[in-house]
Amino acid sequence: MVGKLKRALPVSFIAILIALWQLGVSRETTHIIPGPWAVVLGIVELGRNGLLLKYVVASLFRVTWGFLSAVVFGIPLGLFLGWNHRAGTALNPLIQVLRPISPLAWIPIAILWFGVGDLSATFLIFLASFLPLTVNAMNAVHSIDPVHLNAGRNFGLSQPQLVYRVLYPAVMPQLIVALRITLGISWLVVVAAEMIAVNSGLGFLIIDARNAGNRYDLVVAAMALIGLIGLLLDTVMRRFETMRSVRWGFRSD
């Protein structure tokens, strides 16, 4: 298909779905589910009373702090566990048991330790990102081609030099992908955490809009915003994968 036509395809597909959505809503008698136009109006309303900016910032704020602290603690730990095999085998089972526990299952504990508020939510996001990052960093180290490490030793590099000049650049491509995916997870979790544990943010908006007055137009507006911001975060992170220093890790055959 010609280039321009190709790009029009997803747009027209979404347009068709939106049209069907509008059609479905106008034929429904209960008038609970909002149509696409009502959602747009909802977003405008949020923008006008300042809640849009406030809630988006709140959600992003929690994600940033939770994610960054997970990066600061998780990646070095993961790299260490990958490098030092004994430590890795020792701690691995613990990690494997903790991993399937939904961050939301930690909510009671989080509230116990931090009360209801920003700190709880940030803690949940930290939890949600910490383990995946650690595991990914560990795996990244395990998958370094031994050839590179041997070459490094051959050239007389000391251990710290080996880590800095071979290990670190070698794991970068995988780490960047892991960062992107984990950021996506953080974004999912912040919304969920806000539905339960705090009083602001896009997740809170969903619950509040429904509880306070069955404002389903705002509910869906919030969902749309969540989707779009999540997509935006993902796109931004993908740009990092095109950096020259890591592009080699994404060679397509």
| Distance of closest approach, residue 155 Cβ to other proteins, in angstroms | 30
| Distance of closest approach, residue 82 Cβ to other proteins, in angstroms | 15
| Distance of closest approach, residue 44 Cβ to other proteins, in angstroms | 19
Is 27 or 86 the residue whose CB approaches other proteins more closely?
86
Is 104 or 172 the residue whose CB approaches other proteins more closely?
104
Q: Using an 8 Å Cβ cutoff, are 43 and 221 in contact? A: yes
Site string for other proteins, 32-51 (x = CB under 8 A): xx------------------
Which residue in 192, 186, 177 sits closest to 237, CA to CA?
Answer: 177
Tokens at 18, concatenated: 């939106």
Which residue in 182, 158, 171, 152 sits closest to 82, CA to CA?
Answer: 171
∠ CA 33-39-43, rounded to 5°: 145
| Binding residue (CB under 8 A) for other proteins from 44, 112, 236, 243 | 112
| Distance of closest approach, residue 80 Cβ to other proteins, in angstroms | 15
Distance CA 140, CA 117 (A): 35
Q: Using an 8 Å Cβ cutoff, are 224 and 42 in contact? A: no
Burial 208-223 (b: 16+ CB within 10 A, else e): bbeeeeebbbbbbbbe
Class of residue 185 by CB neighbours under 10 A (exposed 0-12, middle 13-18, buried 19+): middle
Q: Which amino acid is at 58?
A: A
Is 97 or 154 the residue whose CB approaches other proteins more closely?
97
| Distance of closest approach, residue 56 Cβ to other proteins, in angstroms | 14
| Binding residue (CB under 8 A) for other proteins from 24, 115, 117, 227 | 227
Pick out residues in 82-101 that bind other proteins (CB under 8 A): 86, 89-94, 96-101
Q: Which amino acid is at 124?
A: L
| Distance of closest approach, residue 34 Cβ to other proteins, in angstroms | 10
Q: Using an 8 Å Cβ cutoff, are 204 and 195 in contact? A: yes
Distance CA 239, CA 152 (A): 30
**Binding flag, residue 20, other proteins (CB under 8 A):** no
Is 32 or 72 the residue whose CB approaches other proteins more closely?
32
| Binding residue (CB under 8 A) for other proteins from 187, 201, 204, 246 | 187
**Binding flag, residue 10, other proteins (CB under 8 A):** yes
Q: Give the residue carrying structure tokens 């996506």.
A: 184
Interacting residue ranges for other proteins, rule: CB under 8 A: 1, 6, 9-10, 12-14, 17, 32-33, 86, 89-94, 96-109, 111-112, 184, 187-189, 191-192, 195-196, 203, 206-207, 209-210, 216, 219-220, 222-223, 226-231, 233-234
